[in-house]
Structure 1
């Protein structure tokens, strides 16, 4: 679903909401739940799959449609009304008024073709962007046929029972059936940033959308869990109704757009100044007629305007993001590409990002026994291997209790699938590992959950790092099952289960448990601690309502049971990705909730840091001042046992150190850090909807290596923009040089290149090779260079020097020599230079041809900045070669078609002249290859 601007919601809600609509919401909120289920033909088992499919076909997908889409006609017209376009319209009128109709038509043709070209590229870029949006599906758990299924939010229908937990976006308007500690962020509807409590009971406070038992599309679950009945989807939701009045938002101008707009204005002003200067020189220095001087100056203006710059950049960005998508990184905004190229620090989670996120239980620790279950077959036929002995749950009551807590204090479910599908585990990898272990140990989870009824739960909280469920035993007793981080668990326990006997937890017990946990951590393993509490007759909680249970009252006086120890091996590709970051001068800072020992073990193992890295815990971080933290961030550092809220401070201090920060996250509390970071990166597989909404980029595989690939692509896109700019600008000099010769000789040398021929270069031969440069693949060694400085610009000194002082100057000399070559063959300097006729047409055609063949060499030379073109493949970029073929074919058509000969002042060339042109690109290409080889050699020497 789209997210609409909060202020716009607030501004119009008074206009939209009326009594009938309020009554409709209240009617659903007040209705008897059983009657409501009957009304929507559903039950506590949810809809049947067939009923859901029928309703989806009848009502359509659960999406917000764009009801105020901009008119394509207006979008098309905008491409013909820029400052430069208006100037060319006026110039065409003046040319026609001066009785140069062909020139006026040609100038207008420039506008028409360039406008159509711009519109086509905008359309292509939008199409690419839309295709990326389709790759960002949102999912929700629904109950159908009595089972929990994970479906696309577009497939949610009225009558569905949706299951929500912290981090989920509410996909449709719904009535709460059951909930536990549920809090909803309704700021998108109400403008209030503080989450509100929600319960199944109806209560209506003052203000709109304030019914306690109602959920609305576009809001977000920040805490707790809920089961709710969907009663409105898509445009029928409150969100959808408001959307009809709020679409058509004002576009945001991003830094890259501002720089491109600034660059366009700069080049336009330069062109105008040059044009005015040439106009004055033509009149006062050469004594040209005013009309001819104006046309002459107009040619200079056109020569220096990079037509198609902005749309080509947009298309280049879109194609770059599509390449990123193929490498599992989806950018939500094209302009984020610029920031990726500047990234200097990556603040990365460990689990699932650096590791495989495939948790496997391999050790079980109990006070009276331990189980090493690292090998295959460690759990078989309902028995767990303890050394060489197979132990059943009946043989070890402590083990039975541990397995039971892992089974019942667990929100992960199993979708058994169909005969054609494999079973799927719906939940977190950690809980999934527990489910797999308990299933293999012979515990029937479905039967156990029916036997031990869940009465309520205290959802996991990143601050207390615990999750608890309250269950009712077959005997009618209440049990509180808790799992979580060892430190938090031990703090809540005062007893321990030891060989079936509950006894006081001694200091010696605590030391033994901590020592075992630290040993596992040194091996890079992660542990979960388990405990329970029986609410007996003398327990203070007796008589307390489940809704009134709090962590402070329930998670105390617990009985410690044991540890389940898991491994999550590093991803195989992480080692190469980390080395790439080091070569690219990008620092990696691990920020994890795991123990300091585990974090350092993993970081050292995969090469993020050395063994000398400083490890800062969350508690230590709280004690550090901002200056101390900033100083620590300048060295090798790992953050362990930190809460997601700590990320915001870490990211902020990195930025104050002058870093460009990319930060990963997947949870609700990660959202502030993701928004704060220069590039927020959410996990596409395990990430919550809140994290994805706050992020700039989403990883479809949750893989750190994909971040590195995205940075490489970001650098490549920016490099390609500079290549494109270099190619476009380098032809400006040879276009202007003939006019300079004409001025310096005070008209004794006739114009070697006509205005119409200048238009041919700008409009016809520049475009396709330039587009080819915009999609060039990453250059070898791209990740061996440091990040681009923040104050760098697209048009830098190096590009100016290459465009005007190297490529442009060489092309100017060659094209001018080509003009004199034709005249020399026909008797010059013994005869005067022709100012008209077939010889003049042949000479100007030769000048045009030389510029085009210099462009061919420039297109190849611009493909790489330092590396040899052969290293990327001489023929690997087919679009450039297509552009080269089109250039040559176009030149041939202009020379051979009589009508075009008259309009463009061209003439056929003989074989010797064609041979002259064909020889131009080869030495230019080889000379540039030699220069790049010398630069590479000097860089190697300077680094050695």
Structure 2
């Protein structure tokens, strides 16, 4: 009897279904918050993320480019209008320019941006009442810019039919299109300013085309930096005229001796919700690293605006620097509190992720292109973009953002932490009743007392009364303050010492004292004396065993409320937020009453009717258990707050 009782008492029968339910509910909640998780196991991993490596464009920003300023060696222009609707004007020194009489260099720049382009402007329809873009948003903004001046792509292509193109790539950071205009061949190039300048030998000035001097280059770079410091994305425009049409156009022959025309600066505003998400991530102890193909100063400006960077001098590492950097040097750089990787290619992202993982970090990384796939696969959590991402990226990723939004990553991490907490809550809840089930059997073997609780009664608890409340803990929403804690250590085990002490010792001992108090109260008030043997057929023995059974159930009702939070006060959580829990408690009490008072169930489970005073006896113990838990949580909150102050003070 002793062996069977101990074994039965210590088997957590509901562990597997509860863990599965907790993970499944976490996935469901994440989906509602625009994060689709492809593997259940990834939910728990996500909750332990320590670093997020994120793209800038489209993830931190709205990915809706609008050209705001244009600089040429001749003049500085402002452009009005926001979004993709081709409605706006051009200004010089706050004076509006007639779009039908544009300066020649501005007209040429607009044609370059429109023709060296693979995007299309989509006009409003009944189904889609707003203006939109098919293709790259950066290119789309150039189409909109040209249409503001009255240029349309269809008309321009009739006048300048395209005969070839050299597509953009991350190494050259340029795109070139070749067009025929009468007997002449026009080469139009757009791209990153420094990379475009590197293939220019001439500049279009107010005196016409002249040789590009170092002073010109210095002025262009200075203006580019001004734009970048304002958070604007900058493209350079260049062209040349060729006399003869070639059969094959190569980068080496075509992108050379170009004439620099000007710079186009476009705004891609941060998503409004990202600043708060970044703040939440930092509060949760998660480091954010921006990895972008944009210019370093542009990246820094956006990073400052949304709170990723706050210090005076963040470390900005370019792709060229990264190429020359050893793995050990990179790991040293990654220890910087604020770091940005700019002008990088997808292979650089892979190098950064690999270094972080070797440092023991749990890494989440975003990506949208085919070339991002190795980094997505190497990371602990690969996050693909649902809107702008490629099929390959979505296939290898463990999570897909349906809104391409950084804030959704932080929300998913919150849900991941909640899932991990919920599994711990369930295990704590289970452990708390194992102690009052096991201790009576130990006393039974040592002191020859009547059977304190039967095996059938234990099974009725484990597989019956507490099934629904246990499952309900698995679907608890994130508790208050879950994102105020630092990430758990990757080495931390789910079943650690603190969980054992909380479940088996603190909650378990209090429950055991309550259960044994009720058990001996019934025995002693019924005339039992120490050393007296009572068979289970004796009404007093059955009543005492029933009292133990009832005590475990009622103390578990108190315990389930205490286990709803691990750090926050249970009173900070709404009583009615978890409907399944309330249903579970009603079910638990109702089933207990049936087992105690229905005659044919009494025979199966060896129960005996008890009065209302026996129920109230245990109700009096409930505040003791809840109070002890509240004291533990208060101490833990103060400890976490103290640690947080120490960390903030050292920064």
When residues 351 and 505 of structure 1 are mapped into structure 2, their CA distance, relative to the original with a 3 A threshold, is: same
Instruction: Name the CA distance, whole Å, in 1 between partners of 2:187 and 2:551.
Output: 85
When residues 470 and 375 of structure 1 are mapped into structure 2, their CA distance, relative to the original with a 3 A threshold, is: closer
Q: Which moved more, 1:862-871 or 1:425-434?
A: 425-434
TM-score by length of 2: 0.93
Correspondence 1:117-266 to 2 at 5 A: none
Instruction: Name the CA distance, whole Å, in 2 between partners of 1:381 and 1:899.
Output: 82
- State the match for 2:431 in structure 1: 729
Instruction: Name the CA distance, whole Å, in 2 between partners of 1:433 and 1:573.
Output: 23
Instruction: Name the CA distance, whole Å, in 1 between partners of 2:635 and 2:328.
Output: 45
When residues 378 and 709 of structure 1 are mapped into structure 2, their CA distance, relative to the original with a 3 A threshold, is: closer
When residues 380 and 920 of structure 1 are mapped into structure 2, their CA distance, relative to the original with a 3 A threshold, is: closer
- State the match for 2:110 in structure 1: 403
When residues 633 and 938 of structure 1 are mapped into structure 2, their CA distance, relative to the original with a 3 A threshold, is: closer
Instruction: Name the CA distance, whole Å, in 1 between partners of 2:466 and 2:520.
Output: 24
Match of 2:135 among 424, 427, 430: 427
Partner-residue secondary structure (3-state), 2:546: helix
Bigger RCO (CA 8 Å, 6+ sep) = 2
CA contact (8 A) 1:330 1:699 kept: yes
Q: Which moved more, 1:552-561 or 1:892-901?
A: 552-561
- State the match for 1:640 in structure 2: 342
Correspondence 1:624-703 to 2 at 5 A: 624-635=325-336, 636-703=338-405
- State the match for 2:500 in structure 1: 800
Residue 464 (structure 2) pairs with residue 464 (structure 1): no
Instruction: Name the CA distance, whole Å, in 1 between partners of 2:86 and 2:373.
Output: 42
Residue 406 (structure 2) pairs with residue 704 (structure 1): yes
Partner-residue secondary structure (3-state), 1:783: coil
Deviation at 1:863, TM superposition (A): 0.9
Instruction: Name the CA distance, whole Å, in 1 between partners of 2:634 and 2:177.
Output: 67
When residues 471 and 943 of structure 1 are mapped into structure 2, their CA distance, relative to the original with a 3 A threshold, is: closer
- State the match for 2:45 in structure 1: 339
Cα shift readout 1:509-544 (whole Å, capped 9, x = no counterpart):
22221111111112121101112232213xxxx3x3
Deviation at 1:555, TM superposition (A): 1.6
- State the match for 2:163 in structure 1: 455
Correspondence 1:334-733 to 2 at 5 A: 334-373=40-79, 384-386=90-92, 387-416=94-123, 418-422=125-129, 423-473=131-181, 475-499=182-206, 501-537=208-244, 542=245, 544-545=246-247, 548-609=248-309, 610-635=311-336, 636-733=338-435
Cα shift readout 1:748-784 (whole Å, capped 9, x = no counterpart):
3111111110110110022111111111111222122
CA contact (8 A) 2:449 2:530 kept: no
Instruction: Name the CA distance, whole Å, in 2 between partners of 1:398 and 1:695.
Output: 46
Instruction: Name the CA distance, whole Å, in 2 between partners of 1:412 and 1:345.
Output: 34
Partner-residue secondary structure (3-state), 2:627: helix
CA contact (8 A) 1:381 1:441 kept: no
Instruction: Name the CA distance, whole Å, in 1 between partners of 2:82 and 2:52.
Output: 36
Cα shift readout 1:614-638 (whole Å, capped 9, x = no counterpart):
2112222222222221111111322
Deviation at 1:938, TM superposition (A): 4.5
- State the match for 1:147 in structure 2: none
Match of 1:838 among 539, 558, 561: 539
Match of 1:305 among 4, 7, 11: 11
When residues 379 and 571 of structure 1 are mapped into structure 2, their CA distance, relative to the original with a 3 A threshold, is: closer
- State the match for 1:881 in structure 2: 582
- State the match for 1:827 in structure 2: 527
Partner-residue secondary structure (3-state), 2:167: strand
Partner-residue secondary structure (3-state), 1:527: strand
Cα shift readout 1:769-816 (whole Å, capped 9, x = no counterpart):
111111111122212222111111111111111221121122122212
How many residues are treated as equivalent by the alignment? 640
Instruction: Name the CA distance, whole Å, in 1 between partners of 2:573 and 2:88.
Output: 57
Q: Which runs of 5+ in 1 are unaligned?
A: 1-292
Instruction: Name the CA distance, whole Å, in 1 between partners of 2:112 and 2:16.
Output: 60
Deviation at 1:478, TM superposition (A): 2.8
Partner-residue secondary structure (3-state), 1:912: helix
Instruction: Name the CA distance, whole Å, in 2 between partners of 1:382 and 1:844.
Output: 84
- State the match for 1:785 in structure 2: 485
CA contact (8 A) 1:652 1:676 kept: yes
Deviation at 1:891, TM superposition (A): 0.7
- State the match for 2:618 in structure 1: 917
Residue 26 (structure 2) pairs with residue 320 (structure 1): yes
Instruction: Name the CA distance, whole Å, in 1 between partners of 2:581 and 2:354.
Output: 43
Q: Which runs of 5+ in 2 are unaligned?
A: 646-651
- State the match for 1:933 in structure 2: 634
Residue 479 (structure 2) pairs with residue 776 (structure 1): no
Instruction: Name the CA distance, whole Å, in 2 between partners of 1:743 and 1:363.
Output: 87
CA contact (8 A) 1:382 1:443 kept: no
Correspondence 1:278-293 to 2 at 5 A: 293=1
Instruction: Name the CA distance, whole Å, in 2 between partners of 1:506 and 1:876.
Output: 70
Q: Which moved more, 1:416-425 or 1:315-324?
A: 416-425
- State the match for 2:648 in structure 1: none
CA contact (8 A) 1:363 1:565 kept: yes
Instruction: Name the CA distance, whole Å, in 1 between partners of 2:122 and 2:642.
Output: 60
Q: Which moved more, 1:443-452 or 1:592-601?
A: 443-452
CA contact (8 A) 1:379 1:385 kept: no
Instruction: Name the CA distance, whole Å, in 2 between partners of 1:346 and 1:943.
Output: 20
Q: Which moved more, 1:824-833 or 1:735-744?
A: 824-833
When residues 407 and 941 of structure 1 are mapped into structure 2, their CA distance, relative to the original with a 3 A threshold, is: closer
TM-score by length of 1: 0.65
When residues 690 and 500 of structure 1 are mapped into structure 2, their CA distance, relative to the original with a 3 A threshold, is: farther
CA contact (8 A) 1:383 1:442 kept: no
When residues 499 and 395 of structure 1 are mapped into structure 2, their CA distance, relative to the original with a 3 A threshold, is: farther
Instruction: Name the CA distance, whole Å, in 1 between partners of 2:218 and 2:409.
Output: 41
Partner-residue secondary structure (3-state), 1:335: helix
Match of 1:871 among 560, 568, 572: 572
- State the match for 1:99 in structure 2: none
Instruction: Name the CA distance, whole Å, in 2 between partners of 1:398 and 1:529.
Output: 13
- State the match for 2:440 in structure 1: 738
Instruction: Name the CA distance, whole Å, in 1 between partners of 2:157 and 2:475.
Output: 56
When residues 896 and 879 of structure 1 are mapped into structure 2, their CA distance, relative to the original with a 3 A threshold, is: same
Partner-residue secondary structure (3-state), 1:300: helix
CA contact (8 A) 2:36 2:402 kept: yes
CA contact (8 A) 1:382 1:392 kept: no
- State the match for 1:856 in structure 2: 557
When residues 762 and 689 of structure 1 are mapped into structure 2, their CA distance, relative to the original with a 3 A threshold, is: same
Q: Aligned Cα RMSD in Å? A: 2.3
